[in-house]
A and B are shown apart, each in its own frame.
Chain A
């Protein structure tokens, strides 16, 4: 994770993040001449998204340069996979599971309630950048359906009334 003393200025913070990414890429020992160098691209993008929170164009170009491949190839991979995002997410990221088990147990109503409470649609971020909502396809906790994750915390066996309770915890946290 990106924790650094330089992070008091935005430029310093950005530099520290790029340094962290570079350290990771260096550790992979990629041979820039090998035609297999792209094999590590998805792994690098995962790491970059962990560090930056999303994959803006400057990060994409940086990764492309480090692998000696075209920016378009990096961008093409990012747009193909759902897991990668080029837009920043909220501080509290709500992921509503829309796997079949959750769906038949009313996940659509849970999602609608989150959308109503936060005033945004799935895939969007609130104006203050505090909350965002996404739909995910099956996190494999079907026994707890319907399931929602907020950050890394999993909430299972939900009903519509639980949505407000869950959000209120995070709202007070955000304010504090």
Chain B
């Protein structure tokens, strides 16, 4: 498609009016003069694409063509709907019918039954598990009811590869407002008043960060978008880039205008090919219509954006390491000060913000700082996106006002614990964070509250764990991650974490000395105090927080050589319950080391000396006759 350059704010407004009908079927009260009778929206986020949503799009188009409906019904691949648990998602508009877990083979029925005959496909509707009730509209689903979407406002609504749809969704109006009505200081003041804080983990006020970068005089400054989402289990930045890439470009341009920079870099993980592709498309289209490049909207302001690729180093999420990586060096952090605002990329003033932070900015500019600061709590304003994962029923991406409690997120939105098991803990903040127990489930989520209960906001990953997760093993898992990712520059992090890991391993193997807890605690605190960068300073957090809240579990491992969760292999053994064993021989036949003996139709026994604890017998037994002790 050929896009014409937009030269003035007035032309942008005209273009907005011309394009607004494109979303007419998708938003409440939208323009009705749309070119199509219906639209079928298919989720094109990484999760759903992995479940063949691209084939669903092809099949739908094929079926529509068969019925001669190609010109009347449009199929659109959007960004992530957030309800990943039930993906792939297909939404039919304007009927607002939300189909879940759609397979490519369902395309024929959707077109035939719903589109042609006007009859909804019952079996693909979402069923609310507690009431066993089919729900047709997303806004009636518990998963969506308590959400408030600001950063994710366009995800799952617009086609991320068509900039016209972004313009139809108020795109570039915030930039236009800044360029015509505000100067750099006014933009910064507006950001400060809104109370927006960094969403990447640190929680530093965005306006203050911009002010610092503006203060330093330099002919050259840089704006950076940190899209190196390294926290395992967090995927909101990826979803925003895949679902609404232009909003990030627009906000970076606003930041550039505010601090006086004309170049922006997006530092993105190479592991996100789809997000990279969508960004490349968005950058090309933005240049074509003149929203990037020289003399944006006739204001005389120039700004352009370039992609920089990461290469799999968690530490590069730390801003000084990220800057080294952009310069093509090893991503080793440096001491602060000087802060990047003074000396960043190529030693020039640099302003680094995260993807989700940027995604919040256009609505803040358009709806006002007061509107934004009225949402959330006293010190944590606005909304936060959380990636819910682990042992929870509704895995997905949720955006809620700050101050929402963990219980609301896990039970109301997340639908509770999978398989009716007992909630044990929720881990937030990734490898730098901690575990939160059920005593603290009613804590309202704010930056300060999470820190006070021994965890942190981090980028918003929330991993839910149940009674079958061993907390010592979880702490060990995070430490393995840190060991892999430690850059090795400073000793406390490089050697200290290695020693911590060895101690945890000894605990999980039942070889720990009685005073291991004290040694762990002392070393963990030393690492926190003496490491150079954020990675090292926070790396012992998962250990300290699990030790604080699950002390008994640690002691059980150390003193009684017992892992109640049944995870630590060396501390458990398999036994056959004589009364339940019917002698079917399934266990004996599947034992890889032949340590199970017994006659047909008679109870079997396991030779504990030979057993390698692989669990094959436990899985094969149909009579629950094998127990773990």
Contacts and interface: CB of A to CB of B under 8 A. Distances in A.
Interface in A115-155: 136-145, 147, 154
B355 to A, nearest CB: 12
B328 interface: yes
A84 interface: yes
A145 B233 CA distance: 10
Given A80-B487, A140-B235, A144-B47, A46 B469 contact: no
B311 A42 contact: yes
| B interface, size bucket | 35 or more
Given A83-B312, A100-B232, A100-B477, A140 B272 contact: yes
Contact of B463 (A81, A104, A143): A104
Interface stretch (B385-393, B403-411, B513-521): B385-393
Contact of A39 (B84, B327, B474): B327
A105 interface: yes
A109 B430 CA distance: 22
Interface of B: 46-47, 49-51, 84-85, 87, 229-235, 238, 270-272, 308-314, 325-332, 346, 387, 389-391, 395-396, 427, 430, 461, 463, 465, 469, 474, 477-478, 481, 484-485, 487
A147 B330 CA distance: 29
Contact of A136 (B46, B84, B271, B387): B271
Nearest to A160: B619
Interface residues of A, number: 36
A80 B47 CA distance: 29
A83 B328 contact: no
A81 B313 contact: yes
A144 B50 contact: yes
Given A99-B232, A137-B230, A143-B389, A42 B309 contact: yes
Nearest to B50: A154
B271 A140 contact: yes
Contacts of B328: 38-42, 77
Contacts of B332: 80
Interface in A59-110: 76-77, 80-84, 98-101, 103-105
**A-B pairs with the 10 shortest C-beta distances?**
A143-B84, A99-B232, A81-B311, A82-B312, A101-B389, A38-B328, A154-B50, A83-B312, A41-B328, A138-B232
B387 A142 contact: yes
Contacts of B272: 140
B620 to A, nearest CB: 11
A45 interface: yes
A84 B272 CA distance: 15
Contacts of B234: 138
A45 B328 CA distance: 10
B233 A101 contact: yes
A104 B50 contact: no
Nearest to A35: B346
Given A100-B427, A142-B84, A143-B396, A83 B331 contact: no
Nearest to B313: A81
A77, A103, A137, A143 — which one has the most chain B CB atoms within 10 A of its CB?
A: A143
9 contacts: A38-B327, A80-B330, A83-B310, A101-B232, A101-B390, A138-B233, A141-B46, A143-B85, A156-B50
A40 B307 CA distance: 11
A2 to B, nearest CB: 19
Interface string A23-37: 000000000000010
Contacts, number: 131
Contacts of B84: 142-144
A15 B63 CA distance: 47
A139 B311 contact: no
Contacts of A83: 270-271, 310-312
A38 B329 contact: yes
A99 B233 contact: yes
A171 interface: no
Interface of A: 36, 38-43, 45-46, 76-77, 80-84, 98-101, 103-105, 136-145, 147, 154, 156
Nearest to B397: A143
B463 A101 contact: yes
A156 B50 CA distance: 8
Nearest to A145: B389
B329 A77 contact: yes
Given A39-B326, A41-B328, A46-B270, A100 B312 contact: no
Contacts of A136: 271
A142 B329 contact: no
Given A42-B325, A156-B50, 11 more contacts: A38-B329, A41-B328, A45-B311, A76-B330, A99-B233, A103-B477, A104-B474, A141-B235, A143-B84, A145-B395, A154-B49
B233 A80 contact: no
Nearest to B85: A143
Given A45-B311, A83-B270, A101-B233, A141 B47 contact: yes
B390 A100 contact: yes
Contacts of B311: 42, 45-46, 81-84
Nearest to A143: B84
Contacts of A36: 327, 346
A81 B324 CA distance: 13
A141 B50 contact: yes
A137 B396 contact: no
Given A81-B311, A101-B232, A143 B330 contact: no
A41 B271 CA distance: 18
A100 B461 contact: yes
